[in-house]
Structure 1
Amino acid sequence: MRKIFTKLLFTVLSLGSITALAQKNDLGAWYMYFGNNKISKKLNWHNEIQYRNFDAVGDLEQLLLRTGIGYDLTENNNNILLGYGFILSRPYVNGEKKENIEHRIFQQFITKQKFGRFNLQHRYRLEERFLQDDFRMRFRYMIGLNIPITQKEMLPKSLYASVYNEIFLHFDSPVFDRNRVYGALGYVINKNMRIEAGYMNQIQENRNRGQIQIGFYNNIPFNKN
């Protein structure tokens, strides 16, 4: 099964390379790590690193570090979380690279539902963004779906499909910030780790931009249970 996933990952990356050439390297690449580790029966520690590039590698667009403490309102579900994010951005402005730093506080609520093979997740997030010369608030809503392919459940050594849509809304004008649509193939390594490779299209300021994404998910618990 790992050989199958390796071939699928290679296919996704190859398609991304072809698309990047066709769009004059307007296709970016995001490399992501997500940790969601239990520290007690109710509490969890969220930790996240995202390394975002304008191209495949080397031209940094954004480095995002995010962490937070969450609490399950019900057993392994309905999680509320308070977190902090540090974001280093290096956009191009009139052909020159600039550097911006943002500090972000966020609150979120995640609820999960299961319908047969379909694993559905809703995430509601409120962000207070401390920019270098501004302060803004933003609301985000994401709906995501994981569907096991080779087994009926998300069990070790199984292949699955993953999709999501997320919308970002400002509290002031303009209200619409961006929308992201994502599709990927994933592999469950074991009960606490999985990996995904996919493609995300982002609509922002009337511009569509594609991103190849590779994500690693770590749910190894810190508590003894």
Structure 2
Amino acid sequence: MTFFKAQDHVSSFNAVTLTYKFHPKFFLYAEGQLRGNEDYTYPDYYEIKGGVGYNLTKNHKPFVGLGRYVNYKEHSLSREEFRVWLQDVIDLKKGIVKFENRFRAEKSWFYEPATDKASQRMRYRYRLNISVPLNAKTVKKGTVFANAYDEIFLVSPMKPTFARNRVYGGFGYQIDDYFGILTGYLWQREFEAKGNKNLHFIYLALNINIDGTNHPTKTYDFPGAD
């Protein structure tokens, strides 16, 4: 018996993120992704997204974003998506453990060139993300940390409503005041009327944090596989 079922395989999930704090209350966020869903070494999906967030308090960050998402099949564009979303992040801390609660509502517009088909979707997501620094009390320069999350996806008007579940576990390292790296394993379960599907991703990310506020206390964002 192999570790994965015969139809399962390892996929790639690579990301670069940028968080720019240009004001004590406001920040900009941008992210680019390449994924190899069907073949680890050949990207068949990319996304480019970004937005602006507001630090309502140090533990409460509403955000609005938009992005373009493109799927390829047999080296040809199969579906493109434009998405806008509203998000709220509420952090809770217990000792050195950080619990991030992320709520998101998304509106998507799809187009499939091969069939000239257009469609729309609403999706609602909740993620509980837990992070723990391993060699310090907080994440700072030189800190190694562990990170794990569980996320659920609900959609409308498609069926089934419970469309996806993601579970992630991995580690990160804050290299200096600007750069951090993460790697881990992401399991993704797709629930569909025609049959469920598992995806097994190896996640690699470079996170860039730029703080233009001259605040004496630096904070570091590591958004995780999104």
TM-score range, shorter chain: 0.7 to 0.9
- The aligned amino acid for 1:114 is K
Q: Pick from 153, 171, 177: which aligns with 2:163?
A: 177
Residues 11-30 of structure 1 aligned to structure 2 (within 5 Å): 26-30=9-13
The within-5 A match list for 1:1-225 is: 26-54=9-37, 55-57=39-41, 59-74=42-57, 76-91=58-73, 98-132=77-111, 133-172=118-157, 173-205=159-191, 206-225=196-215
Question: How many angstroms does 1:148 deviate by?
Answer: 1.2
One-letter code aligned to 2:20: N
**1:5 paired residue number:** none
**Aligned-residue RMSD, C-alpha:** 2.2
User: For the structure 1 residues 67 and 23, does the alpha-carbon distance in structure 2 shift closer, same or farther, using more than 3 Å as the test?
Assistant: same
How many residues of Structure 1 are paired with residues of Structure 2 in the alignment? 202
Percentage identity across paired residues of the two chains: 27
The Cα of 1:119 is off from its aligned counterpart by 1.3
Q: CA–CA distance in 2 between the matches of 1:97 and 1:40?
A: 42
Query: What SS is found at the alignment partner of 2:24?
Result: coil
SS at match of 2:40: coil
Query: Hey, what's the Cα distance between the residues in 2 that align with 1:23 and 1:136?
Result: 31
More helix by share: 1
Shift of the 202–72 alpha-carbon distance from structure 1 to 2, 3 Å rule, reads same
Change (3 A) 1:224 1:117: closer
Structure 1 unaligned segments of length 5 or more: list them: 1-17
Contact kept in structure 2, 1:193 and 1:220, CA below 8 Å: no
Q: Gaps spanning 5+ residues in structure 2: where?
A: 112-117, 216-226
2:8–2:200 contact (8 Å) kept in structure 1: no
CA distance in 1, matches of 2:63, 2:203: 25
Which letter does structure 2 place at the counterpart of 1:109? D
Name segments (4+ residues, structure 1) moved above 3 Å. Answer: 22-25, 222-225
How does the TM-score come out when normalised to structure 2? Answer: 0.82
Separation (CA, whole Å) in 2 of partners of 1:72 and 1:35: 17
